[in-house]
Amino acid sequence: QVQLVQSGAEVKKPGASVKVSCKASGYTFTSYGISWVRQAPGQGLEWMGWISAYNGNTNYAQKLQGRVTMTTDTSTSTAYMELRSLRSDDTAVYYCARVKLPLIFRGLDPWGQGTLVTVSS
C-alpha cells in the first residue's frame, strides 16, 4: 500500500537548522510530488510548499522563501525538507503528503505520520 514514513522528533535551538525526511513506498516515486504542511500546537494547517520528484521543481510558500529547501533522492524514494534559522514559532508538527503534479486539484493523499520539531533554547 502507498505509505509515507517520516523521521523522528527533533529538538533544536533557535538559529539552528532541521532536516526532516519522508520515505515513500508502494508507488512510483517519480510520478508524483511531495508537499509539506506544518501545524503549530493547537493551530491549523499551514502549507509550506511542494517538490516534483520527477524533475525537482519546487514551489514554496512566500512566507518561508529563503529559509526552506525541499529536495528528493530518487534512488531511495525519499523527500527532505530543510528549514533554517529556526525560531520558536517554527515549533510544529511537520507533515509530508503525496501530490499528483501537475494535477494538484486531486489534493494531498496520503500523508506521513508527522514529525514534531521543537525549537527551544
Partner 1 sequence: DIQLTQSPSFLSASVGDRVTITCRASQGISSYLAWYQQKPGKAPKLLIYAASTLQSGVPSRFSGSGSGTEFTLTISSLQPEDFATYYCQQLNSVLTFGGGTKVEIK
Contact 83, 90 (CB under 8 A): yes
- Shortest Å, Cβ 121 to partner 1: 26
- Shortest Å, Cβ 33 to partner 1: 11
Rounded CA separation 39/85 (Å) = 18
CB closer to partner 1, 15 vs 66? 66
- Shortest Å, Cβ 52 to partner 1: 12
Rounded CA separation 90/30 (Å) = 29
Contact 61, 49 (CB under 8 A): yes
Contact 100, 107 (CB under 8 A): no
Residues lying near partner 1 in the complex (CB under 8 A) are found at 35, 37, 44-47, 50, 59, 61-62, 95, 97, 104-114
CB closer to partner 1, 78 vs 112? 112
CB closer to partner 1, 9 vs 45? 45
CB closer to partner 1, 2 vs 16? 2
Please, which residues have CB within 8 angstroms of residue 75's CB and are 6 or more apart in sequence?
Answer: none
